[in-house]
A and B are shown apart, each in its own frame.
Chain A
């Protein structure tokens, strides 16, 4: 069994190529997540943000290039080793992706059941602790996803993704569809969890407030690759028409004002 090198960058993608038929989505894309940071991934609709996330997650094999997790090339790992790497990753999908036939608590217990030898009562208590951590009321434990509001679903999905204490958290549009109060609360939750659990977070987001409030770095996906990935000031100063338009609009200025 491999020992993961936790000092290496949690995720590193080198010259990734993604194509669907003749349609090239990513070409020579380089990307790197550093330990402990929150990165926001932005890009226009249809630029393949979610495809990139799926590639990083291993849901999709890249058509070219390598993805390394903690210094390990994913494609060279055996099935068991991959499972070990996968346990270090938590994902919150856009709609929460909770299993609809299970209660919230059972949802959170799924990874625990699958990958640990804990006793069922302890699993239950840990699940309830995760429910508390993401700010859901204790009663939510026995509810089914269909009974939850959009915001609660996202929190429950986050609780499930944190079940195994991953080192790496992927969030796909975590604040989309939430009202501003809920979105702000969610941002603060991510920030708090990052500090408490020593997480590295990659989030796809269109929410400018989120970018300004909690992201350490912003990666911009334009022209089939990550054009720039830096702190916000440098990204905003970057000379590219799409980026200028993105950060130069009225919404961005408002968010920037609020962020400061």
Chain B
């Protein structure tokens, strides 16, 4: 291959530089001669470049590009150039390559201040997302009130179907997850409290943590992962196929048709699921207390639960559920409606939707904790 590698000779007379090229000037030979020609011409003064390509065996765009660098990379860029000898195809290729090199230098892909501008963009983005979500929430309530004034506007069929999907179908997984969480809490409590000889206090631990926080958080996070993403994907796909536009043109309100049923479904499903999660979490804790860690029989477990864990704790957990349900439905629907035409935006929005929903759930939960702490419940 070396025999016909890309070679060249330079000859200069006055302002005219002639490049006598020979061999194969292709993308395969380019790595070996990249920079040679441009290095050789860097110290030369010339205003015109002539190319003699008669001995070139093969030329492609990469080779032509390397040759055409001579036009640009002399001490000063040459004013003109020509293919003094060569075939028509070679002339055309050189034309294409020279045009490209005579264009402006490639813009840099990255700048040093990119990090800063990205931080700025992210901050602005966070702000606009928050404002837009709140605006969406407002619009939802307006439509909801309108529906309440005219109950015939509720789409019961779709609400029931959604409750089945969001609630009933999620019940097994919610219960299983919560069962394991309850069991793990019981194990941890038993281990830690045994060193004080107070393993019976694990009942308090399981009762408080499951009822107040864990059951509702687990349910909300699961719903965010399961239903919120499904809402975004469904509505996003409809948006992509212009179904939403078709709906609007036909005079259907997208909030009435899509958002209200989903929000109501979550509003109904979330408390029920949370209740189931609480029960199975307590059951998991009770099973571990009985069989595994400490010798706390079910009857003792239940009796102690009755004594020490106030019913208020149950209500503290339950009162949060409608808020979380609404948050999940609203964020899912909003992100779905924000999908634009492209497939990339669908994926991006689904990710965003899940992240935002989980973030919002945990954030709102913290606010609730603060309020309950101040109220002393």
Using CB atoms and an 8 Å cutoff, list the residues of chain A in contact with chain B.
Answer: 100, 103, 105, 112, 116-119, 122, 124-126, 128-130, 132-133, 138-139, 141-142, 145-146, 162, 164-165, 195-198
Contacts and interface: CB of A to CB of B under 8 A. Distances in A.
Interface in B331-359: 342-345
Nearest to B62: A126
Contacts of A116: 27-28, 30-31
Contact of B93 (A119, A162, A197): A197
Nearest to A87: B27
Interface of B: 26-28, 30-31, 34, 60-62, 65, 89, 92-93, 95-97, 99-101, 103-104, 106-107, 109, 342-345
B30 A133 contact: no
B342 A146 contact: yes
Contacts of B60: 165, 197
A196 B89 contact: yes
Nearest to A105: B109
A105 B101 CA distance: 16
Given A129-B65, A129-B101, A195 B92 contact: yes
B27 A198 contact: no
A164 B65 CA distance: 13
Contact of A196 (B62, B65, B92, B343): B92
Contact of B345 (A133, A138, A146): A146
B104 A129 contact: no
Nearest to B99: A132
Quick one: which of A116, A117, A122, A141 has the most chain B CB within 10 A? A122
Given A146-B342, A165-B26, A130 B104 contact: no
Interface of B is mostly: helix
B20 to A, nearest CB: 22
Given A118-B27, A138-B107, A141-B107, 8 more contacts: A118-B30, A124-B106, A126-B61, A128-B100, A129-B96, A164-B27, A195-B89, A196-B92
B106 A141 contact: yes
Pairs of residues from A and B, 10 with the lowest C-beta to C-beta distance, nearest first: A129-B100, A165-B60, A196-B92, A132-B100, A117-B31, A128-B106, A146-B344, A100-B344, A122-B34, A146-B342
Contact of B104 (A118, A124, A138, A195): A138
Contacts of A119: 31, 34
A190 B212 CA distance: 68
Quick one: which of B93, B100, B343 has the most chain A CB within 10 A? B100
A165 B61 contact: yes
Contacts of B107: 138-139, 141-142
A4 to B, nearest CB: 13
A142 B62 CA distance: 21
